[in-house]
Every structure is written in structure tokens, then in C-alpha cells.
Amino acid sequence: MKKRKLGKSGLEVSTLGLGCMGMSFSYGTPPDKGEMVKLLRAAADRGVTFFDTAEVYGPFTNEELLGEALAPVRSKLVIATKFGFNLDPTGKSAWTGLNSRPERIKEAVEGSLKRLKTDYIDLLYQHRVDTEVAIEDVAGAVKDLIRAGKVKYFGLSEAGAKTIRRAHAVQPVAALQSEYSLWTRGIEAEVLGTIEELGIGLVPYSPLGKGFLTGAMNDKTTFAGNDFRKGLPRFTPEAMKNNQTLVDLLAAMGKKKNATPAQIALAWLLAQKPWIVPIPGTTKLARLEENLGAADVELSAADLREIESAAAKIKVQGERYPAALQKLTGR
């Protein structure tokens, strides 16, 4: 597996990382823990060095999973986790709002270190911008943790350009994690240029459109009651039927390149900038191997122009989140 550097921070990771949320959270009933331990170790064996989690995933259980699975090879890996929510300490209920107060950040880190079975966090993100707490105070708290050796690099997730600049002035931001793919391109308007200027890497989450861009679902697909896609505007039958055109585009290019729609979607992201590192998630070994294969798919300038021209004619239907969650992005 080739490696990439996240901007000018010096943080080097595998060209593709692994988003681990779905192994214990959000996509219906979580898979067997033992099987997920095997999958995480298989990813490490195949050269993946970048693993993404958060205290809210579960809550807590996803960090515990990574701590158990990756402890034997911890020193060779880059583990990213996130803070930013009020959480029930028992983990029995969901988050109850944002909380990025400095004391909460430091409390969250202590919990994450314990669950991850490590004495440092490679990359610590603020999960969502908390407008009740000055971003300078957030960056300052992480700066303290970096000085203490508990954190190596600072990241932001779904932050707007002005917030990124303010945070970066206090503590250099190594990476921005935001949703980015062929069907979610909002950051191209302002954020992408800002992070390029500042030398910040980009870690696109949901690079496969929460599974839709793989071609594995259509307007007849149904979701379990505890699968959060059931409540997303883009996953109504009408929206999925309309958005199938984008999957068809990926499939058509895939035929030319002997690649799957998922591999084309990931290869497109990798071709945008050398400091972009997508983190597709999966719970299946076959999908993991398929996704990693995208690193070997080369899209020429002509291929990229063809994709861009076709995509420009497609209007994606449906917001990516319901209004309450959408307002937490781009702040």
C-alpha cells in the first residue's frame, strides 16, 4: 500500500484509510465483534495504517473494538478519534448535544486513551464545531494535549473555512475530515481552496456515499429500523431512483478500466489532490479488498474530464442529512 502525507503536517498514512464506525454503530445491528477484530487485523496486514473512530460511535464500543484489535501493531498505525458531544458515561443512550469545552475535551481524551489501549492519539478531531465554545479555546485545549504528549496532531471535522483559519492560527490543523465524493461536493466552493492554502490534508468520509455509490442498492432497497440511512433524505426510494444515474456513470467508467463503481469513486477522489486520503468503511473482507484495489486504478486526464462532464449534468436529489444534523456542518 502506497502512502500519502496529509498536507504539510508531516503526518503520513496509507493512501486509503479505514472508516470503522459501521463496525459497531449506525448501519443496523452491529456485526459480530470477533469478526470485526479479524477484519481490522486483515486491514493492517494489507498495509492500511490509518484507522478512524470516535468516542460517539457506540458510544464508546468502537474505540474499544479498535483498542482490542490493533494493540499488537499499535506502534505501526495512525489512529484517529474524535471528541465533541455530551455522552452518557454508561454508553446506554445517544449523545445529547455538542460539548467542546476544554475540560470536556481533556476528559474525552482520557477515556479514548483507555479504550484504545494506547498512551497517545495520533490525530484528534473536533467532531462538529460547537458554536458555544470559541474555536480558539478548542484549539488551545488540543495544543495543551499535544504538549503533554497525549495527542500528536489536531484535526477538524465538517468545519467551515473561517473556523478552520481561526483554529489553525492557534494550533496547526493537520487534517480536515468532511464528507466528499462525487455526490457530495459542497466543500469545493470555499473549503478545499482554504485547506490547500494552509497546507491541511483532507480525509473524506463516506467517500462511497454511505454505500450508494457501490451500486449495491437501488430504490427497492429497504433499511432496518436502526440503520440511520432510513432517515436520510438521499435514501428515500424516489431519491435513490433519481440518483442511480450517478452510479451508472461510475459503472460505465468502471467497464473501461476493469474496475467496480466503488473503485472508480475512490480513484476519482485520489486523483483530485495528492493530500486527499479517503476512509471508506466496510464490515466485509471482500469489500475491504475491493476498496484497497482502488489505489491501483489510474484515471487519466481524459477520464477525469469525461467523469466531470457527465457528473455536471446530474443533479443529486436529497440533502445528505435531515435539517437538525445538516445545520451542524460547515460552521
DSSP string, 179-233: E-BTTB-GGGTTHHHHHHHHTBEEEEESTTGGGGGGT---TT----TTBGGGG-G
* CA distance readout (Å), 315 to 221, 245, 258: 21, 9, 27
| Residue 57 known to be catalytic | yes
DSSP string, 8-56: TS--EEESS-EE-GGGTSSBSSPPPHHHHHHHHHHHHHTT--EEE--TT
From CA 238, how far away is CA 253, in angstroms rounded? 25
- From the CB of residue 237, how many other CB atoms can be counted at a distance below 10 Å? 12
- From the CB of residue 40, how many other CB atoms can be counted at a distance below 10 Å? 22
What does the block give as the cell for 47?
A: 498495509
- Three-class SS state of 172: coil
Pairing assessment for the beta strands 50-52 and 18-19 based on DSSP bridges? parallel
What does the block give as the cell for 37?
A: 477484530
Active-site residue identified among 57, 125, 180, 205: 57
Q: Give me the active site residues, please.
A: 57
